[in-house]
Amino acid sequence: MENWPLALAGGILIGLSSSLLLWLNGRIAGISGMCGGLLFPRRGEFAWRGIFLLGMIGAAGAYMAWAPGALQPRIDFPRWGLVVAGLLVGFGTRMGNGCTSGHGVCGLGRLSVRSLAAVATFMATAILTTAVVRHVLPGVL
Amino acid sequence: MTRYLLSALGCGVLFGAGLAMSGMTDPRVVLGFLDVFGAFNPTLLFVLGGAVATTMLTFRLILRRRPVLAPAFRLSALVRVDRRLLVGAGLFGVGWGIAGYCPGPAVSGLGIGSREALWFVPAMLVGMGLYELVARLMRAHVAARNAATSTPDALRR
């Protein structure tokens, strides 16, 4: 783990972003909620979500373009795995009202019991799923 | 309104920079954290730890006053830990554990030229639409049932 200072600094940046959005705009920085809000827009709620996501996409791209050591893309992962995972992540985050950012970073930050329950649950099923995919059924993905 | 949108843009930029800097846009790093029975990689713990430590410090202070650019905070009013929350979070975790993408890093992947994001993100949006469809059908079903059971009551009066 040679990159832990960068990981910590990046995490603090994410926390600062969430803090500023709450302090200035009064909103929770939940990425799944923003995507859902773009898909089913309500009056006056579309633009800020779209512009936040565009800023996020642009900044991630700019960082990767300038940072040393370009990311080597993963090339051996099957497309059907991406599609199945995407369907589950989309369905599950709308059903459970949030993901790693909304429940994890923001929900835990405001000491929400609901978010703590959600984080414990998705961490547990994610660890279990990774264990099954990598160690019980290796070669499936 | 302009300041509201500019602040959303700035926050998005910080968020995306944080995700990219911390290595979260690489699904192998994320799966390395989730793989506690294999080649465990603790990176995500530092990222989530740094982020949550920050929000725990700041949110308490922020929530004491009103937001700067809005009349009030918009927080979820839900408090009950119910089946919908747990099943939803559980399904999300399964998807996260399969490919190593949660929504933030997946959407950011569109900016770093990830081919995987071009498959994952549309599938995710379809999944969100599917849930909305199921939820609307369920609501219609419950409403129809309530209407059916409440009619005799109304007649009795």
Model pLDDT for residues B75-84, shown as the tens digit of each residue: 999 999 999 9
> In the predicted model, is pLDDT for residue B154 greater than 60?
no
The encoded tokens of residue B142 equal: 């419950």
- pTM of this structure: 0.94
Chain B stretch 70-89, residues whose beta carbon is closer than 8 A to a beta carbon of chain A: 70-76, 78-81, 84-89
A-B CB pairs within 8 A amount to 466
Give me the phi and psi of B41, to 5 degrees please.
-125, 110
Q: Tell me the three state secondary structure of residue B24.
A: coil
CB contact under 8 A, B97 and A125: yes
CB contact under 8 A, A96 and B114: no
Q: Give first-to-last CA distance, chain B, whole Å.
A: 52
Give me the phi and psi of A22, to 5 degrees please.
-70, -45
Average pLDDT over residues A112-118: 98
Residue A140 sits at the chain B interface (C-beta within 8 Å): no
Closest-CA residue to A38 (of B115, B132, B70, B137): B132
| B58-107 residue pLDDT tens | 999 999 999 999 999 999 999 999 999 999 999 999 999 999 999 999 99
The encoded tokens of residue B124 equal: 């995710």
Burial of B106 (0-12, 13-18, 19+ CB in 10 A): buried
CA distance A54 to chain B (A): 7
Q: Point out which residues pair with B74 in neighbouring strands.
A: A27
The interface pTM score, or ipTM, of the predicted complex is 0.96
CB contact under 8 A, A89 and B92: yes
Measured CA to CA, the distance from residue A72 to residue A75 in angstroms comes to 9
Measured CA to CA, the distance from residue B118 to residue B141 in angstroms comes to 35
Average pLDDT over residues A49-67: 95
CB contact under 8 A, B90 and A67: no
